[in-house]
Amino acid sequence: MVKPGWSCFQYVGKYGVRCSGYVAPGQTPNRVLAPPSYSVRGIGRPGVPVLDAVDLQTVSTIARRTGSRTLRFVVLSYPRHTTSLPPLVVFDATDGPCEVGAPGYAVLNEGPHDDLWYQPGGNPYGPHAGAPMP
């Protein structure tokens, strides 16, 4: 059970991390479990989601371009009417997999979007529009 307050996390299998998200005092926690994120370095290991060829190429390109050892990805699910958001979010979790700070981590595979951010510890259910902190 998630209690009000800042995000906490739990391990999902050997390679995944699920962030609870922020729950304000007086609010009811979301009953839908947040999607777990995985290290890009775990791709191909048991329990890590299998990516299709396009997503795998996207992740490989980002990993080569950034050279970061903290790259993570999450596979999101949306209702049918919200198809403009990417179902795969790749982000560089430099402050940990459940960082809550605003605006969050830049979505590195945003494609046509230029201002998507993912806040795994604040709202792990999907990216949001925003601008970097000055």
Q: Find the mean pLDDT for residues 77-102.
A: 77
Is 12 buried (19+), middle (13-18) or exposed (0-12) by CB count in 10 A?
middle
Structural element, H or E, at residue 64: helix 53-66
Alpha carbon distance 50, 39 (integer Å) = 13
* pLDDT per residue as tens digits for the range 38-62: 999 999 999 999 999 999 999 999 9
Per-residue pLDDT band for 116 (boundaries 50, 70, 90) equals confident
In the sheet that 105-106 helps form, which strands lie side by side, from edge to edge?
A: 105-106, 116-119, 123-129
**pLDDT-based confidence at 73, cuts 50/70/90?**
very high
Q: Are 102 and 90 in contact (CB under 8 A)?
A: no
- What is the pLDDT at residue 30? 78
Q: What are phi and psi of 4, to 5 degrees?
A: -55, 145
Q: What is the pTM of this model?
A: 0.83
- The CA-atom distances, in angstroms, between 121 and each of 65, 68, 107 are 26, 20, 15
C-alpha 99/C-alpha 67 separation (Å) is: 20
Kindly report, residue by residue over 11-26, the tens digit of the pLDDT: 888 899 998 877 778 8
